[in-house]
Chains A and B, each alone.
Chain A
Amino acid sequence: MSSRTRSALLVALAVVLYLAPFAVGTEYRLFIATQMAAYVLVAVGLNLLNGYGGQVSLGHGALVAIGAYAVAIATVDHHWSFWPAALLAMLAASAVGAVMALPAFRLSTWYFALITLGFAEVVGGLLTEWRELTHGFAGVVGVPKPVLFGHELSSLDLYWLALTLNIAALWGMANLLASRFGRALVGVRDNPVAATASGVSLVRIKMLAFVVSAAMAGLSGALYAVQKTVVTPDDFTADFSIFFLLVVVLGGAGRLWGPVVGAVVFFLVPELLAALQSWRMLIYGTALLFLMLYAPHGLVGAMDVGWQHLRKWLGLPAVTPPPVVATSRQTVEPVAGEALSVQGVEKRFGGVTALAGVSLEVAAGTTHAIVGPNGSGKTTLLNMISGFYPIDAGSILVDGRSVVGLAPHRIARRGVGRTFQTPRMLPALSVLDNILLGAYPAERQSALSATLRLPVARREQAASLADASRYLDFVGLADRAHEAAGELPHGQQRLAEIARALVGRPRLLLLDEPAAGLSLDELDRLGELIAAIGRLGTTVVIVEHHLELVANICSSVTVLERGAVLASGTPAEVFSHPQVVAAYMGTQAGVGQAAS
């Protein structure tokens, strides 16, 4: 299906949904449809957080409750109009939620699940306890219908309002997910280390997803309050939060349309569930277990697979997205490389000394190699320069400024790019999207302009795409751009990872054993690639065992052994140094050299 027919179909669907009430609308059906639309709003937001960001929230029902009560209390007790009250609902849900989520986001994913579970219990308790505000068990009665231009909205108007909000939410969500924020969020879920190395602050991106989803839950609560006209604590039990999680998992977590499909299925079988009221939670639990075990991508994921099988069976060709072509052949702009200065760096892991006072200097714009036997501390040093390990003693200056104590994503944003010994790709994303992740620190667009697809965001995205395509071509992977990165062979993942680091236009690039596992052909390409990166002006520090490669491309070399510098100088000097020869050839040679 081309994107044009797809858009046409979606517009047609929207028109049908807007006009449907004239043909089949009854008061009851309108009520149900509006309620479903309100739930879809919550589920779409939860999908951003849970499906894409991998953060399980068991408290979204409580956020809906906060939104519903905010509107009910503001309109009934304080006589606000609906519109500012709806805004209040969104603000209240995201603000209360953010305070609750902040400690959890600094920790492992499951903390967040438990803290949201506790949060839901606490909010549920306060709804009855805090009588002065919430009116206790009786709840708030008589929420007025919204008034627009002096006209009180009918149930048909409310349905249209809810439908419009759904369409806007899905459109905005699709835009947000296609932007730097969507890729960063998937990075948080699938490979936090890669995301961090690309300059993504994990806490901030999780918080962004959470605040967006909480605001949507609050807005849904606002709709809920005016639609039901009564809000009571009984509406918001613990099941309510689990219900939203199930809607997302059933429909397809991490699929844009998943929550919509999940909600529709739920509302198509209400009779069945009504009959089995006392078994409901048991059914929810069993459904969650089976879905997670056998259909982790839910109904939408299953439909995708089914659709591909059907096409194959019918003999239709596989859908191929247009190939990536580097749009402009103009030369890449030169980079002002950063000098690196490491002084007396020490690192201990428990009783093991990994680095015992290592110093090295790399001039701006040069290519420097760190070599040495396994376990000599080469990768540890890279991890300390890029901030992944805290430093025990010593100093590290990049471009004359200390980076000690900075979080790794901040160091990345200072222009320090890196790759890893084992390539860190986001396996579920395409190769192109993986490389675009690298553009995260270079892009400046806000989440709001990305969601609204403002011209400024579109221009920047087009520029990043052009950049990414060029680097993809540069490393020779243009024809694999749309394949899932997890499907690439090892060597190509390595090259793709280098391309990802390059898109961010690093001024200092750290490469950790880039040649390991490459074929001879790929090795030649790598040599050319690093030389070309150096010519751009980027400072390159490379940890490598392949000495021929090092001799060809590096202007200086540092040899580490057991966490200390054994020798440093030009490749020719270093590789004829007797102790270096000893370290590489074994102690026998070393003893001989020392004796002579």
Chain B
Amino acid sequence: MDPDLLVGALTAGSLYALVAMGFNILYRPTNVFNFAQGDLVMLGAMVGATFITLLGLPWFVGAVLAMLAVAALALLEEKVAVAPVLNRSATGHGWVITTLAVSMIFANVVGLCWGPDPIAVKPPWPLSTDTFEVLGANVSTYQIAIVAVTIVLVLGVEAFYATRPGKAVLAVAEDRDAALLRGINPNRLSSWSFFLGGGIAALTGVLAAPVLYASTGLGPALLLKGFASAAVGGIGNNRGALIAGYIIGLAEAIAASVLSPGYQLAATFAVMLVILLIRPHGLFGRPEARTV
């Protein structure tokens, strides 16, 4: 196999895994799968690109500001579009349509504000997107950084779930009412998880911008590939999402080189469907216990 292919697959796969982790962070305490997550990532990239490229702020300042801004928007989404629907029916699926509507609103408002042209973003010093050769593959220091940062973030988030507040999140996911009786406030956790999920989304967007460019097209593409990674890895399982992200990235890279770039999405989709057909709860997921 072409070693360059592998590098591209690992980089793209890491970004998909980060999107999937954003889904999971939100999903765990709320059982809501945020359809606007792809657009939150896109917003992170756009806001970050505006601060860093257009306003010339230092990379880290721009990244933090973008994370705060997008986290606040995600919180707004939770208050306006998710909490009212969940209050009406905690088990209903009205949020599928409301978060989809939010996604459409975000995507189009960004389109109106920023226009269709992608913005190029430089990676932070001393990293660079210039490639050099290692073991026959062309690699850039920025690609290595993306892969490494993703692994650190996944392990960090997993470690959080082992702590007391982390366990509270898992408890709410398991049984909202029982957690309430134990003195956990599920509504506050929901708000927090949207805030954090928004922050992770923005970070993903800022990280992705130097390799994928910041543009409105980022949202739908990352929504679907992030979902594919989350589903293949097992919803709620971040380590699974990381492996699945690599699998999706690889499937995509192979499809592009063997077939044609036009068949990339179709091939990725087919891989996901086949895996879900054989293992409905993903490679590393477990079926949710049914409550009767």
The distance in angstroms between the C-alpha atoms of A125 and B81, with both chains bound, is: 31
Residue A249 at the chain B interface, CB threshold 8 Å: yes
Among B93, B101, B273, the residue within 8 A (CB) of A109 is B93
Number of chain A residues close to chain B: CB under 8 A:
49
Closest chain B CB from A122 CB (angstroms): 5
Among B80, B100, B260, the residue within 8 A (CB) of A288 is B100
Among B33, B107, B292, the residue within 8 A (CB) of A114 is B33
Q: Are B220 and A238 in contact (CB under 8 A)?
A: yes
Residue B212 at the chain A interface, CB threshold 8 Å: no
Q: Are A193 and B224 in contact (CB under 8 A)?
A: no
The listed residue with most A CB atoms (<10 A of its CB), out of B35, B104, B281, is B104
Q: What 1/0 flags go to B248-292 for Cβ under 8 Å of A?
A: 000000000000101101100100110011001100000001101
Q: Are A107 and B104 in contact (CB under 8 A)?
A: no
Q: What 1/0 flags go to B195-220 for Cβ under 8 Å of A?
A: 00000000000000000000000001
Residue A586 at the chain B interface, CB threshold 8 Å: no
Chain B, Cβ-Cβ closest to A289:
B101
Residue B105 at the chain A interface, CB threshold 8 Å: yes
Q: Are A349 and B289 in contact (CB under 8 A)?
A: yes
The distance in angstroms between the C-alpha atoms of A36 and B132, with both chains bound, is: 58
Residue B96 at the chain A interface, CB threshold 8 Å: yes
Residue A532 at the chain B interface, CB threshold 8 Å: no
Q: Are A293 and B98 in contact (CB under 8 A)?
A: yes
Q: What 1/0 flags go to B87-100 for Cβ under 8 Å of A?
A: 01000011011101
Task: Please indicate the chain A residues that have their CB under 8 angstroms from the CB of B100 in the complex.
Answer: 56, 58, 113, 242, 285, 288
Task: Please indicate the chain A residues that have their CB under 8 angstroms from the CB of B231 in the complex.
Answer: 111, 114
Among A115, A122, A287, the residue within 8 A (CB) of B265 is A122
* One of A27-35, A98-106, A457-465, A560-568 contacting the partner: A98-106
Which residues of A46-78 are within 8 A (CB) of B?
54, 56, 58
Closest chain A CB from B160 CB (angstroms): 21
The distance in angstroms between the C-alpha atoms of A199 and B32, with both chains bound, is: 29
Q: Are A388 and B108 in contact (CB under 8 A)?
A: no
Task: Please indicate the chain A residues that have their CB under 8 angstroms from the CB of B88 in the complex.
Answer: 296
Residue B109 at the chain A interface, CB threshold 8 Å: yes
Which residues of B3-50 are within 8 A (CB) of A?
33, 35
Known: A119-B269, A285-B102, A288-B101. A113 touches B289 (CB 8 A): no
Task: Please indicate the chain B residues that have their CB under 8 angstroms from the CB of A113 in the complex.
Answer: 35, 96, 100
Known: A103-B277, A103-B280, A285-B105. A420 touches B292 (CB 8 A): yes
Residue A399 at the chain B interface, CB threshold 8 Å: no
Closest chain B CB from A335 CB (angstroms): 25
Residue A575 at the chain B interface, CB threshold 8 Å: no
Which residues of B61-110 are within 8 A (CB) of A?
80-81, 84-85, 88, 93-94, 96-98, 100-105, 107-109
The distance in angstroms between the C-alpha atoms of A106 and B276, with both chains bound, is: 9
Q: What 1/0 flags go to A228-265 for Cβ under 8 Å of B?
A: 00000000001000100100010000000000000000
Q: Are B269 and A122 in contact (CB under 8 A)?
A: yes
Chain B, Cβ-Cβ closest to A249:
B97
Q: Are A389 and B290 in contact (CB under 8 A)?
A: yes
The distance in angstroms between the C-alpha atoms of A54 and B101, with both chains bound, is: 17
Residue B142 at the chain A interface, CB threshold 8 Å: no
Among B84, B98, B290, the residue within 8 A (CB) of A388 is B290
The distance in angstroms between the C-alpha atoms of A284 and B272, with both chains bound, is: 30
Q: Are A56 and B224 in contact (CB under 8 A)?
A: no
Q: Are A103 and B96 in contact (CB under 8 A)?
A: no
Among A119, A242, A420, the residue within 8 A (CB) of B104 is A242
The distance in angstroms between the C-alpha atoms of A115 and B268, with both chains bound, is: 12
Chain A, Cβ-Cβ closest to B281:
A107
The distance in angstroms between the C-alpha atoms of A114 and B38, with both chains bound, is: 12
Known: A56-B93, A122-B266, A125-B265. A293 touches B105 (CB 8 A): no
Number of chain B residues close to chain A: CB under 8 A:
43
Residue A117 at the chain B interface, CB threshold 8 Å: yes
Q: Are B263 and A129 in contact (CB under 8 A)?
A: yes
Chain A, Cβ-Cβ closest to B92:
A54
The distance in angstroms between the C-alpha atoms of A54 and B94, with both chains bound, is: 9
Task: Please indicate the chain A residues that have their CB under 8 angstroms from the CB of B290 in the complex.
Answer: 193, 388-389
Q: Are B276 and A107 in contact (CB under 8 A)?
A: yes
Q: Are A292 and B94 in contact (CB under 8 A)?
A: yes
Known: A114-B224, A128-B262, A288-B97. A103 touches B273 (CB 8 A): yes
Q: Are B108 and A193 in contact (CB under 8 A)?
A: no
The distance in angstroms between the C-alpha atoms of A54 and B91, with both chains bound, is: 12
The listed residue with most A CB atoms (<10 A of its CB), out of B100, B262, B290, is B100
Chain B, Cβ-Cβ closest to A389:
B290
Residue B227 at the chain A interface, CB threshold 8 Å: yes
Closest chain A CB from B211 CB (angstroms): 21
Task: Please indicate the chain B residues that have their CB under 8 angstroms from the CB of A388 in the complex.
Answer: 290, 292
The listed residue with most A CB atoms (<10 A of its CB), out of B81, B94, B96, is B96
Q: Are A288 and B104 in contact (CB under 8 A)?
A: yes
The distance in angstroms between the C-alpha atoms of A537 and B215, with both chains bound, is: 70
Task: Please indicate the chain B residues that have their CB under 8 angstroms from the CB of A129 in the complex.
Answer: 260, 262-263, 266
The distance in angstroms between the C-alpha atoms of A128 and B263, with both chains bound, is: 10
The listed residue with most B CB atoms (<10 A of its CB), out of A58, A106, A113, A128, is A113
Q: Are B101 and A121 in contact (CB under 8 A)?
A: no
The distance in angstroms between the C-alpha atoms of A121 and B105, with both chains bound, is: 19
Chain A, Cβ-Cβ closest to B102:
A289
Known: A122-B265, A128-B262, A293-B85. A102 touches B277 (CB 8 A): yes
Among A56, A100, A238, A349, the residue within 8 A (CB) of B97 is A56
The distance in angstroms between the C-alpha atoms of A121 and B223, with both chains bound, is: 12
Chain A, Cβ-Cβ closest to B267:
A122
The distance in angstroms between the C-alpha atoms of A292 and B98, with both chains bound, is: 7
Chain A, Cβ-Cβ closest to B259:
A129
Task: Please indicate the chain B residues that have their CB under 8 angstroms from the CB of A292 in the complex.
Answer: 85, 94, 97-98, 101
The distance in angstroms between the C-alpha atoms of A546 and B74, with both chains bound, is: 50
Chain B, Cβ-Cβ closest to A238:
B220
The distance in angstroms between the C-alpha atoms of A355 and B283, with both chains bound, is: 30
Task: Please indicate the chain A residues that have their CB under 8 angstroms from the CB of B107 in the complex.
Answer: 281
Residue A282 at the chain B interface, CB threshold 8 Å: yes
The distance in angstroms between the C-alpha atoms of A383 and B290, with both chains bound, is: 10
Q: Are B105 and A289 in contact (CB under 8 A)?
A: yes
Task: Please indicate the chain B residues that have their CB under 8 angstroms from the CB of A125 in the complex.
Answer: 262-263, 265-266
What are 8 of the A-B contact pairs (CB < 8 Å)? A114-B35, A121-B269, A125-B263, A129-B263, A281-B108, A282-B109, A285-B103, A289-B101
For the complex of A and B, the 8 pairs showing the least CB-CB separation, nearest first, are A285-B104, A129-B262, A289-B101, A288-B101, A103-B276, A282-B108, A285-B105, A103-B277
- Beyond the given pairs A117-B223, A282-B104, 15 more chain A to chain B contacts, judged by CB atoms under 8 angstroms and listed by A's residue number, are A56-B96, A103-B280, A106-B280, A109-B93, A113-B100, A114-B227, A118-B224, A118-B228, A118-B269, A129-B260, A193-B292, A285-B104, A288-B98, A292-B94, A388-B290
Residues of A within 8 A of B (CB): 54, 56, 58, 99-100, 102-104, 106-107, 109-111, 113-115, 117-119, 121-122, 125-126, 128-129, 193, 238, 242, 245, 249, 278-279, 281-282, 284-289, 292-293, 296, 349, 379, 383, 388-389, 420
